[in-house]
Amino acid sequence: MGIKKEGIKLINEDGLRIDGRKPDELRPIKIEAGVLKRADGSAYIEWGKNKILVGVYGPRELHPRHLQDPTKAKVQCRYDMASFSVIDRKRPGPDRRSIEISKIIGEALENVIFTHQFPRTSIDIYIEVLEANAGTRCAGLTAASVALADAGIPMKDLIAAVSVGKVDGEIVLDLVKEEDNYGEADVPIGYVPRTGEVVLLQMDGDLSYEEFEKALNMGIEACKKIYEMQKDALKRKYVKVATEIVEEVE
Amino acid sequence: MGIKKEGIKLINEDGLRIDGRKPDELRPIKIEAGVLKRADGSAYIEWGKNKILVGVYGPRELHPRHLQDPTKAKVQCRYDMASFSVIDRKRPGPDRRSIEISKIIGEALENVIFTHQFPRTSIDIYIEVLEANAGTRCAGLTAASVALADAGIPMKDLIAAVSVGKVDGEIVLDLVKEEDNYGEADVPIGYVPRTGEVVLLQMDGDLSYEEFEKALNMGIEACKKIYEMQKDALKRKYVKVATEIVEEVE
Amino acid sequence: MGIKKEGIKLINEDGLRIDGRKPDELRPIKIEAGVLKRADGSAYIEWGKNKILVGVYGPRELHPRHLQDPTKAKVQCRYDMASFSVIDRKRPGPDRRSIEISKIIGEALENVIFTHQFPRTSIDIYIEVLEANAGTRCAGLTAASVALADAGIPMKDLIAAVSVGKVDGEIVLDLVKEEDNYGEADVPIGYVPRTGEVVLLQMDGDLSYEEFEKALNMGIEACKKIYEMQKDALKRKYVKVATEIVEEVE
Amino acid sequence: MTSEEIVSEIKRDYINRLAEVGRRIDGRAFNEYREIVVEKGVISTAEGSARVRIGGTEVVVGVKMDLGEPFPDTPNMGVLTTSAELGPLASPTFEAGPPDEKAIELARVTDRAIRESGAIDLQRLCIEEGNKVWVLFLDIYVLDYDGNMFDAAEYCALAALLNTTVPASRFDMGDDFKLEVERYPISMTFAKIENSIVVDPSLDEDNIADARLTVSIDEENRIRAMQKGLSGGFTVDEVKKIINTAMELAPKIRKKIVEA
Amino acid sequence: MTSEEIVSEIKRDYINRLAEVGRRIDGRAFNEYREIVVEKGVISTAEGSARVRIGGTEVVVGVKMDLGEPFPDTPNMGVLTTSAELGPLASPTFEAGPPDEKAIELARVTDRAIRESGAIDLQRLCIEEGNKVWVLFLDIYVLDYDGNMFDAAEYCALAALLNTTVPASRFDMGDDFKLEVERYPISMTFAKIENSIVVDPSLDEDNIADARLTVSIDEENRIRAMQKGLSGGFTVDEVKKIINTAMELAPKIRKKIVEA
Amino acid sequence: MTSEEIVSEIKRDYINRLAEVGRRIDGRAFNEYREIVVEKGVISTAEGSARVRIGGTEVVVGVKMDLGEPFPDTPNMGVLTTSAELGPLASPTFEAGPPDEKAIELARVTDRAIRESGAIDLQRLCIEEGNKVWVLFLDIYVLDYDGNMFDAAEYCALAALLNTTVPASRFDMGDDFKLEVERYPISMTFAKIENSIVVDPSLDEDNIADARLTVSIDEENRIRAMQKGLSGGFTVDEVKKIINTAMELAPKIRKKIVEA
C-alpha cells in the first residue's frame, strides 16, 4: 500500500470508482486455454489491462536427480514480469518480489494437483506477465489453473483468485493500479470452490476485523464467478479441439 | 596495516596501550560451548568486543557426490561477518576477504581433525561474526575448535589462536581495532599445543627478524593460556550436561 | 562498424592503408605450436599487434555426467580477453560479446574435429587474448586449430580465418583497429581448405552483393596463405620434438 | 523411504493422534507460545539491535543506517531495506549462499509487518526532499532454527528498532537521536496440522504442517499484514478463528517486547 | 540411444529423403515462409511493442525508453540496448535463468541487424551532447519456439520500433514524438540439411540442421548483417545462392511488417 | 583408488625417499629455484606489463590505470586493486568461471606483498584529495601452472609495476610519467613434504605438500608479508629456518627482476 496523497479521490459521490466500477464489480476478464504450441498446457488471460501468458510443462523427469521427491511431483512455479510490462522498465529476471510470488502461487497450486500420482517428476508452471496493472498474482494464479487443466494434469479443482482492498475507507473488489498505489489495504485471495478452502491469502495495510471479514466474503463471491469463466475457457478449448478433430475426420 | 596518522599515540608513557593493557596482555575472553540447539556442536566467544558464534555440522554425507573424497572427510569452513558487525555496514554474503579467511581457517582445522575416519563426508564449520573489533579470524578459529570438540568430532588437539602485532615500534599481543588500523604489523597465529605446530600464520607490515621472533614467541605463550580457557569451556559444558542428566535421573 | 568520422582518411592517394599495407595484404603473422607445458595442446599467435594464447584439453571425461553426449565429444570453447588487452580496461570474465564469439568459434571447430570417435568426453579450447587489435576472433580460431592439432586430436583439416572489410569504399583484407572502428563493413571468415567450406561467417555494415562477393573471395585466398603458416608452425614443432628426441637418444 | 522419512512419518502420526485428544507434542496448549526471551542492544557496532529466542529458535537483528537518495516516487521518505540470512549454522537444511526463496519470504513478510503498520514514519527519515534521506537497513540473522522463525524475526526486528539511535553525528548531521517507533505490530504464526491449528509451531510441527498463516496485529487491534504459506488451505472459519486468537495473544507479547 | 534420439534419427532420415525429391516435411517449397502474422501496439505500458508469429513461433518485443548518459566514444548518440529472453514456457529445452549463449546470440544478431543497417538514427536520440541521451531498450521475449526464432525476433523488433513513441513528456522533455525508423532491414534464415537448403526452418528442421545462415537485407537490396551458426559449413556457391534468395524474399516480408 | 590417486601415492613415496637422502625429484638442492625468466613490457595496451616464467609456470601481469575516487578513509591515497585469474588453459584442474578461493588467495597474498611493503607510494597517486585519484589495476593471469604460482605472480606483479607509465596524457592530466616503485619485496614460497622443506615447489611437490609458507622480504631484509597454507603445520624452528633461507635467497632474485 502506498502513501495516500492528499486530494486524490478514488471513489466519487455516486459511489463509483475511478474506472467507473461499482465497489464489488470485477474488471472485464477474458481467458483463453491452449494458446501455446510447445507447452503441454497453456492459458492467456486479459484481466483489465493485465495481460498474462502461462505455459505448463510436466509431469516430466526432474533434474538434477537428488532434487526428486520419491513420493510426489514437485510443483515449481516461476512468475516473471516482462521488462516492458510496467511503466518504469523492470530489469529482466527474477527480483525478490517475483521470487516470493512464485513461491506462494506454487504452494497454492500444489494444493489442487494430485502430486502423488507422479513421484520423481516436476510440474513446471511459467507465468509471464506481459502487461501489468495491479492484481497480476491473482490473475496469474487464475490462468495457471486453467493451463494446468489444459495440460491434462489431474487436479481436484481449479483455483480462482482475486484481490480485495480498501479504498477511501471502503472495501472494494479487484483493485486497479491507482487503487493499489493509494489505497489503504490489499488482500489477494486464492480460493478452491469445491473444498471451500482459501489457499492463497496475503494482506497488507490496515483493516479492522469486520472490514477483513467483509473483504474475505466479497473475494470469495467473486472467485465463484471467476471459476465459471475458467470452466468456460476450458469448455471452449475442448469444443474447438473436438471440432477440429471432427473436421479432420470428415 | 593502515597508515600511521601523525600524533596518534597508541602506547602511553607508562607503557600501557589505549585500552590500558600491558603489551603482552590479552583482552578478556569468554568462551561457552554448546550454545546452539540444532547444530551438532557449537561455541560462542566474546573476546574483547568481538562476538562470534560457531556452529558445526558433521560428519555428514557430502553433496554433490563427485565432490566426495573416498579417503577422508572434507573440512569446509565458512567465515561470515554479519552486516551490522562493523560500523560501515557490510553487504551480506561472502567477499574476497572472508573467502580467504574461510580457506585458511578451514586448512588449519583440518590439521587437528581425524578426517580419515570419515571418508566421503563433510565436516562443516560456520563462523558468524556478530560484532567485530580486530582479531576475528583468531577468535573464530579458537571458538571453532571448541565447537568441533562439542560436536564430538575426533581431534588430535584444539587450536588456540591469537594475533600479535607491532604498535608504536613495540611488539604487543592481541591488537584492538585502533592498533590494527594504525599499527605497523599484524601476525595472526594459530597453534596446536600438543604438537607445538603453527597451523595458521599470516603477517603483514614491517618486522625485523628479531621482532618477528619475539612476536611468534609472545603469540605462542598466549595461545597456551587461551588453550586452557578452551578446555575450561568444554569442561563447564560437560559438567552442565552431566548435572542435567543426574537431575533427570533423580 | 563505428561511425565514420569526417576527415579521417583510411586509404591514401597511393592506395595504401594507414599502416602502409596494400588492400589485399595481411598483417605479419607468427604462429608457434606447443608453447604451454600443462595443456594437451597449445599455440601462440602474434597477428599484427594481436597476441593470443590457446590451450586445449581433451578428449577428457565430461562433468557433470548428464551433459555427456553418448554419441560424440562435446566441443567447448571459451574465448576470453585479458583485462589489459585493450586500452580501456575490460572487467575480467565473460561478457556478451565473448560469449557469442566463444559459441561461433566452438561451432566452427566442431566442423573439423572427429567428435564421434570420443563419445561422452569434452574437448575444451581456451583462447586467451593478451593483446587485441581487431581480428581477434579470426586469429583465435586460426591458433585454436593449430592447438587442437598439437594436442593430437583427430581432425579432417585445420581452419584458417581472416576478416575482410570495407574501408573508404574499398574492400580490404585483415582490418586493423582504426579500420574496424571507422570502416563501413566487417566480414570475419573461417575456411576449411580441404573441403572448401565456410564454417565461420559473420557480417555487419553495408555491402552490395558484388562487394560481398569480392570480400568473400579475397578472404578465402588469404585463408589459403594462413593455412600454410599453420602447417609450418606444426612442422616446426614436430621437427623440434624430433630433434629433442634424437638428442636425448644420442 | 529413507530412515529420515520414516521418522517424519511416525512423528506425523504421533502429533496427529495427540492433536485428536487436544494435546501438543511438547505439552503446550494450542494457543500457547513457548518462552519468549528478548534482549535489546546486544551489538554495539549496530545503530540498534536485539536478540530474540522463542524456545530453541534464535534470531539477531541489527539496524544500520546510512545516508542515501529517496526513491523517485517517494521523494520525502526515508528508505527501509529488510534482508534475512538463514545462517547455515541454524539448521542442517539451510545452505550457505545468497538468500533463497525461504529467506526472501521471511524478509518480505517481516518487512511488510513493520512497513504496512507504519511502525516507522519514513517521512521523519527524510533530510532533504528528493535528495537526501536516511536509509535504514534491517538485517535479520536466523542463528538457530527450532520452528516459527517468522514470529522470532518480527519480534526481533521490532525490538531492534525500539533500540535504535540514528547516528546523525557520525554523518555530520547534528546530534544523534532515538528512532521513534510509531506502531507496535505483533506477528503471530499458526500452523494447521490435519484438523488442528496451533500457534507458534515447534520445529516438529513446522516440518509436518499442512498450512501456515501469519497475522500481524497492531496495538489498536487492527490487522496490518497476513501471509499464508504451504500448500494446505484454510476454511473461512479457520481464518477468522486464527485472527481472533491472534488478537487475544498480541497484547501480552507486545508488552514483553516493548518492555525488554 | 534414448527414444527421443531414435525419433530424431528417424525424422532426420525422413526429412532427408523428402529433400532428395524436392519436398519439405510440412509441404512448403524450399524458399517458402510459413504464415507471418504481425501485430503492433500490443502492450500499452511499452513505448512501442509488437507480437510476431511465424508458424507456431511467437515473439513479443517491447521498447522502453529512459534518459541516460551516452557512451564516452559516441557522445552525440543515444544508446540502443537489446536483450533476449528465451522464456521457459516457449520450449521444454529452454531453462529459467539468466540469458544463456543462445539468448545472447539471438539478442546480438537482432541488435546488429537493427544497428548496422542504421534503422535508428541514434544521433536523433541525443539530447545534450556528452551528457544526456535517450536510452532505448529493445527487449525480445520468445514465448513459443517452433523453429526460426532469429527471423521472428528481428521482424518483431522492427515492428516494435515502427510502433514506438518517444515518451518525452513523461520526462519533462517536451512533447512525445514518433521514433523515426530510417531503414527496414529484413533478416532471413536458411538451414542446410544434408545437401538441401531451406528458408524459415521449422522446429524439426532447426533440430536437425547442419548449418544455419541468417542474412539481413535492407530496402536498397544491400547486405547489412550476416550470422552463420552450427557446425556445418557452406560452400561459396551456397552462400551466394542464399543471398540471392534472401534478396528476392525480402520486399514482400518487409511490406507485411511495415504495413501491419 | 583411481589410477590418478595411485600415481600420486607412488610419487609421494618416491619424493619422500629422495628427500631422506637429501635430494629432490628434479635434482635441485632444497634451497634452489628453477630457472626464472623475466620479460617486461610485453603488452602494449597495458600501462605496464611483464611475463615471468619459473620453470614451466608462466604468469602475465598487466597494469591498467584509470581515474576514480579515493576510499573515504584514505582520501589522499590512490587505489590499488589486485585480481588473479587462474586461466583454465593453465591446468586441467582450473575451471572457467569467477575467481575461486585459490585465485582469491593468490590475488590477496600478492596484493599484501606489494601493498604492505610500500612498493607503491599510494599518496603519489592522489590527484585531488578526497575527490580524484589514480586507480591502479594489477591483473594477474596464470597461463601455465607447473607449481609455485605465488612467487611467479609476485615477481611478475613487481616487474609489471617497474615497467609502468602513468597514462596521464590520455586523461588530460598532463604528461605521462613513470610510476615510482619504492620498495622491492620478494616473495619466496617453501613447501613442507613430510620432514623436508623445499623452496620453489615444482608441480609434483606442490601436489603432495603438507604445508606451504610464503615469506616476503624487502631490500632492507625486513619481513613484509607471510602466508601459511595447507593443513600441515610448521614448528617454530622450521619457521625461523625458512625466514633465514628467504633472506639469503632474496637479493639474487630481486636483482634479476629489477634488471630484467
Our CA-based measurement puts residue C43 at a distance from the nearest CA of chain E, in whole angstroms, of: 22
Residues of E in contact with C108 (CB under 8 A): 231
pLDDT classification of E185: cutoffs 50, 70, 90: very high
Q: How many domains does chain D have?
A: 1
Closest CA to C131 of B242, B121, F60, B154: F60
pLDDT at C4: 55
List, for chain D, all residue ranges whose pLDDT scores fall below the cut of 50.
Answer: 1
C3 and chain E in contact, CB less than 8 A = yes
β-pairing verdict for A74-81 and A50-61: unpaired
ipTM for the complex shown: 0.95
Q: Which residues in B182-212 are b (16+ Cβ under 10 Å) and which e?
A: bbbbbbbbbbbbeeebbbbbbbbbbbeeebb
Say if E43 falls within a structural domain: yes
Our CA-based measurement puts residue F240 at a distance from the nearest CA of chain B, in whole angstroms, of: 8
- With CB atoms and an 8 Å threshold, state whether E64 touches A84: yes
B64 and chain D in contact, CB less than 8 A = no
**What domain range includes position D168?**
30-259
pLDDT above 90: residue A107:
yes
Written as tens digits, the pLDDT of chain C (250 aa) is 555 556 678 999 999 999 999 999 999 999 999 999 999 999 999 999 999 999 999 999 998 888 899 999 999 999 999 999 999 999 999 999 999 999 999 999 999 999 999 999 999 999 999 999 999 999 999 999 999 999 999 999 999 999 999 999 999 999 999 999 999 999 999 999 999 999 999 999 999 999 999 999 999 999 999 999 999 999 999 888 878 777 766 6
pTM across the whole model: 0.96
Our CA-based measurement puts residue B159 at a distance from the nearest CA of chain C, in whole angstroms, of: 37
Say if E5 falls within a structural domain: no
Q: What is the pLDDT averaged over residues B127-140?
A: 98
E226 CB burial (10 A radius; 0-12, 13-18, 19+): buried
d(CA A139, CA A126): 13
Say if E168 falls within a structural domain: yes
β-pairing verdict for D79-86 and D132-144: parallel
d(CA A172, CA A25): 8
The beta-carbon neighbor of A206 closest among D105, D107, D224 is D224
- SS3 of F49, please? strand
CB atoms within 10 A of CB A151: 22
Q: What is the pLDDT averaged over residues E48-54?
A: 98
A89 and chain E in contact, CB less than 8 A = yes
Instruction: Choose from B37, B49, B79 for mutation: most chain D CBs within 10 A.
Output: B37
Say if F9 falls within a structural domain: no
Say if F2 falls within a structural domain: no
Say if F17 falls within a structural domain: no
Class of domain C29-249: alpha beta
Ramachandran angles phi, psi of E252, nearest 5°:
-65, -40
Cell numbers given for A68: 526428486
Say if E148 falls within a structural domain: yes
CATH number at residue F98: 3.30.230.70
Place of cell 516440518: D207
- Spell out the residues 6+ positions from residue D24 whose beta carbon is closer than 8 angstroms to its own: D15, D18, D30, D198, D202, D205
pLDDT at A249: 67
β-pairing verdict for A74-81 and A121-131: parallel
- With CB atoms and an 8 Å threshold, state whether B38 touches D44: no
Our CA-based measurement puts residue D244 at a distance from the nearest CA of chain A, in whole angstroms, of: 8
User: Which contacts qualify for C22-25: CB closer than 8 Å, 24 or more apart?
Assistant: C23/C170, C23/C171, C23/C172, C23/C173, C24/C172, C24/C173, C24/C218, C24/C221, C24/C222, C25/C173, C25/C174
List, for chain F, all residue ranges whose pLDDT scores fall below the cut of 70.
Answer: 1-5
Q: What is the pLDDT averaged over residues E67-92?
A: 96
Q: Chain A residue closest to D105 (CA)?
A: A100
- Residues B75-110 have pLDDT tens digits of 999 999 999 999 999 999 999 999 999 999 999 999
- Residues D146-173 have pLDDT tens digits of 999 999 999 999 999 999 999 999 999 9
- Residues A200-221 have pLDDT tens digits of 999 999 999 999 999 999 999 9
pLDDT at B29: 98
- With CB atoms and an 8 Å threshold, state whether B92 touches D45: no
F202 and chain C in contact, CB less than 8 A = no
Say if E117 falls within a structural domain: yes
Q: Chain C residue closest to A65 (CA)?
A: C66
Q: Chain B residue closest to A64 (CA)?
A: B64
- Spell out the residues 6+ positions from residue F20 whose beta carbon is closer than 8 angstroms to its own: F196
